[in-house]
Every structure is written in structure tokens, then in C-alpha cells.
């Protein structure tokens, strides 16, 4: 471990085979797992927990205090899992009293200049594009939940408390103020359902039959001019029970912000 021009708190817990670049700062209450690489000019603040085999590039600031006017200095955490790539100038804030922690799962790519606000939860195998802002609002930000295998393209902003369903894809420069159901592609302005995330589903080994099932379900929800309650009841009564069907029904019924509309709704 090269410690030249590096400031590391005496109580920091640094794993085996960790590499730390020049001019980086690591405070006392930090844990970094084995085989993680930290670039130059990285700032890792108190309350940060980083797993093994991660890469953190120059200029990233991890576990900064929340940009939330209600934050009063309470002890909170930022938990980052294993095999994550965090590119240049990414900022991820730790939690507030609301959830006590911000969480990033495993195997995620967070591209340059992205910001993840306080109390957000990022799942596994997600791609967060350049300059994305996850958890925006006036005065406070955060508390977005991004589920597994989500792809959010660059320059997108996600309003606080929004939920992004698994295996979904959001086009670049999107403004997300409603929940995004699982398995879909969302685009246009205002952001709308424009079809299934077919390429992403195929890459995740979804069968052709399963993709057709999902298309049929979302046709009822977005293209047959029913209100949402009637559409969900029809799906429950007329579609075979599967894990994916039930996941869609549960997601939409539990949505607090409401879901995006269909392109021609």
C-alpha cells in the first residue's frame, strides 16, 4: 500500500491488498474491504463502509453529510457493497435519521459526476449514467430506491422518494417524478412507458416466452385504455400466476407516487 501524500485516520480499518492513490483522505470511522483500489484525490469520510474488490476513481467524495436541512449531525452510515466501480467526481451522501444509512449494493457501475443523495438505496448490477442525480428536490434530497439490474442513462434526475423497478431502463436526460415499474423502458417527456426493456431482459437470460408474457401484462396496463385498478384486477384474474406477474402487481399497488403513464395514454 503506497502511503505517500495520503492522510489515513489511525482508527480506519483498511483491508488486505488495498491500494490508495496520492492526496487521498480517509477518516477514522471508515472500513475498506480487501483488494479495493482507491485513486488519487479521493475523500472518504466518517461513516463510510466499502466492501471488497471495489474501484473508486479520482475526485470521488463518499459519505459526505446529507444535503438535507433537517440533518442535525446524527450518526449515520454509507454502506457500499462489493465489486462496485465508482468513477470520477461521484458524490454519495450518508443517511439521515430517516433511514440511518445510504446503501449501494454489489456489482454496480456509477459513472462520472453522478450524485446519490441521503438514504437512497441502490440494488445490485445497476448502471448509473454520467451526471445523474438520484434524489433531488428543493431544500432536501434523497430516499430513492433503485432495484436490481436498473440502467439509468446520463443526465437524468430522479425526484426524492421515487422507486425504480428492477430490470428497467431510463433514457438519457429524463426527469423522473413517478415510479418506474419493473422490466420496462421509459423515455420521452413527460417520461412514459415506451415498451419492455427487451435487450436488458435478454441479457439477463429471460426466455422469449417470459418476455411475451410481460408484454401482454403491460399491454393491459398501458395500452388498452383502462384505469389502473381495473387493469390490475384483470391481470390478476386472467393471467397465470408467476413471480413476475405478482411482482408487477405488488409494485404498482404499493406505489406511493404513482407510476408513469403509457406513451399514448
Residues marked as catalytic? 118-119, 142
> Nearest Cα to 102, choosing from 73, 136, 71, 143?
143
DSSP per residue, 122-134:
E-SS-EE-TT-EE
Q: Closest by alpha carbon to 165, among 107, 128, 123?
A: 123
Degrees, nearest 5: CA angle 152-258-179: 10
Q: 125 Cβ partners below 8 Å, 6+ apart?
A: 105, 106, 107, 108, 148, 149
Q: Which three cell numbers stand for residue 148?
A: 436490481
Single out the residue of 68, 62, 61 nearest to residue 96, CA to CA: 68
Coil, strand or helix: which one is 20?
strand
Amino acid at each position: 500500500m503506497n502511503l505517500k501524500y495520503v492522510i489515513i485516520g489511525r482508527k480506519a480499518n483498511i483491508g488486505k491488498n488495498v491500494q490508495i492513490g496520492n492526496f487521498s483522505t480517509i477518516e477514522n470511522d471508515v472500513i475498506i474491504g480487501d483488494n479495493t483500489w482507491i485513486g488519487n484525490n479521493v475523500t472518504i469520510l466518517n461513516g463510510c463502509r466499502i466492501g471488497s474488490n471495489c474501484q473508486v476513481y479520482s475526485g470521488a467524495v463518499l459519505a459526505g453529510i446529507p444535503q438535507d436541512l433537517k440533518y442535525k449531525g446524527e450518526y449515520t452510515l454509507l454502506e457500499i457493497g462489493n465489486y462496485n466501480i465508482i468513477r470520477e467526481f461521484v458524490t454519495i451522501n450518508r443517511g439521515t435519521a430517516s433511514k440511518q444509512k445510504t446503501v449501494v449494493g454489489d456489482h454496480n457501475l456509477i459513472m462520472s459526476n453522478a450524485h446519490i443523495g441521503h438514504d437512497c438505496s441502490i440494488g445490485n448490477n445497476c448502471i448509473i449514467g454520467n451526471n445523474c442525480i438520484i434524489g433531488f428536490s428543493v431544500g432536501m434530497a434523497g430516499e430513492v430506491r433503485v432495484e436490481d439490474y436498473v440502467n439509468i442513462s446520463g443526465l437524468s434526475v430522479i425526484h426524492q422518494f421515487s422507486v425504480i423497478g428492477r430490470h428497467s431502463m431510463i433514457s438519457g436526460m429524463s426527469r423522473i417524478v413517478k415510479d418506474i415499474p419493473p422490466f420496462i423502458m421509459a423515455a420521452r417527456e413527460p417520461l412514459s412507458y415506451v415498451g419492455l426493456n427487451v435487450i436488458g431482459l435478454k441479457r439477463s437470460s429471460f426466455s422469449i416466452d417470459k418476455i411475451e408474457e410481460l408484454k401482454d401484462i403491460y399491454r393491459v396496463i398501458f395500452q388498452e385504455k383502462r384505469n389502473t385498478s381495473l387493469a390490475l384486477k384483470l391481470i390478476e384474474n386472467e393471467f397465470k400466476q408467476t413471480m413476475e406477474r405478482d411482482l408487477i402487481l405488488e409494485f404498482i399497488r404499493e406505489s406511493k407516487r404513482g407510476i408513469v403513464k403509457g406513451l399514448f395514454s
